[in-house]
Structure 1
C-alpha cells in the first residue's frame, strides 16, 4: 500500500484536465447499477474511469462498502488528472422500495490529502501522533506528557520519523510537512524522481514489504486497524 501511495503521489496533475465546479451526486440501486446522476457526476466518472465500465472501480468499491452499512463508507482516490478525489457512499431510507445508495464525489480536502502523504511516508499511528505535536510546536517533555510516554520514547519516534522523511532536524521536519500541506491545498503536487520524498525530493527511507495495488486506482479507507 505504501509503495502504491508513493507512486500515486509522485504523479503530477494535468493542468489542462477539466475540473467539475460542483460535487457529483449519483444514485445507485442495491445491485450497484446507476439510476440517476447530476451533470457534474458524469465529469467525475470520467476523472476516475480506468476502463470502459459504466462506473469506475473505485466508486463501486466504496459503494459496496456503504451498502447496508451503519456508517457512510469513504475513500480517497487519485484521479486520471492526478488530483485526489473523495468518494462517500451511504444508503437512503424512508421509501416503500429498496433504498437506493447515494454516492457523492468531490475534491479531497487538503487535510485528507496531507494524511495520505503521511501514510506514503510509512509513519506508524504513534509516529503520526508525535509528528502532529511537533508541528504544533510542543517540546519533547510536553509531547511525552500528552501521550503518556517517556521523553526517550518520543526521541526514538522522532528518529524514526526523521529517517522515513529524509530530514535531520525538527525544523526541517516541520518545513517538510508544512510544504506538503501548502502543496496539496493548491492541488499542485510535485513529481520528484522515484525513490524520493513527495515534497522535498530527498531520498526516501526504504519501506517494509507491502502489498501492491496491482495497477488498480489506489483507494484509502478511514477504516484502518490502529496499533
Structure 2
C-alpha cells in the first residue's frame, strides 16, 4: 500500500513522541535517550491504512523510528467516527469565539494563482488558510462532505482573528525542491478567532466547529506525518 507521496494528502498524522524530560511529561522534540520510555501516537484517517498499520504494530516487537530501533511494549487503539465529531461540534455551535493553541510548529502555504502560479510560505495563523487546509483533508477522507460554499464564506472573512498570544516562528528543516535548497517556517502559540456577525451562518459555524474537532486528530498544514501542526482547541479563549 502506498502511504504517502509527493503533494498527496497523507492518510495519517502523528504526535511527537511523548515522554519524561526534566521531571515533566512533554514532547521529545529533538532526541530520545536510549532505554527511555515514551508514547508514540498515530492518527489514521483511512480504513485500509488503519487495518494495515494496526496489524503491523500488533505483529512487530521492534520497529524502526528515524535512525533508531524501538521496542513496542504495548499497543492501544480506539476509533472516533466522524458522526461523533459532528455531535460534539453541535454542542459548541453557539460559541462564536474560540482559540487554537498550536502546540508544534505549523506550516501554512498561500497559493498564488495566475500567470506566475506559486506556493508561498505564510508563517502566520490566517484563519482562511487554517480552515481551507482542514476542509481539504476532511473532504478527502471523511463524511459527510463539506460543500464549496464553505470556502466562499471563508473568503468573505466569515472568521477573523481576535488576538494572538505567545506566537513565535521557527525555521524548520531544509530540503531540496526543483534543484534548490528550501526550508519551511512554522509558528506556535495561541490565536483567538471569532465569527464575524455580518457573515454569521449557523450551518457554517457547525462546519467550522466540526473541523476544529477534526483538527485535534488530523493536525494542520504541512508535515502532519512528522508531528507538525498539532493543535488544541481552547474554550473559552485563554
Band the TM-score falls in, shorter-chain normalisation:
under 0.3
**TM-score under structure 1 length normalisation:** 0.24
**TM-score under structure 2 length normalisation:** 0.24
Pick the structure with more strand per residue: 2
Pick the structure with more helix per residue: 1
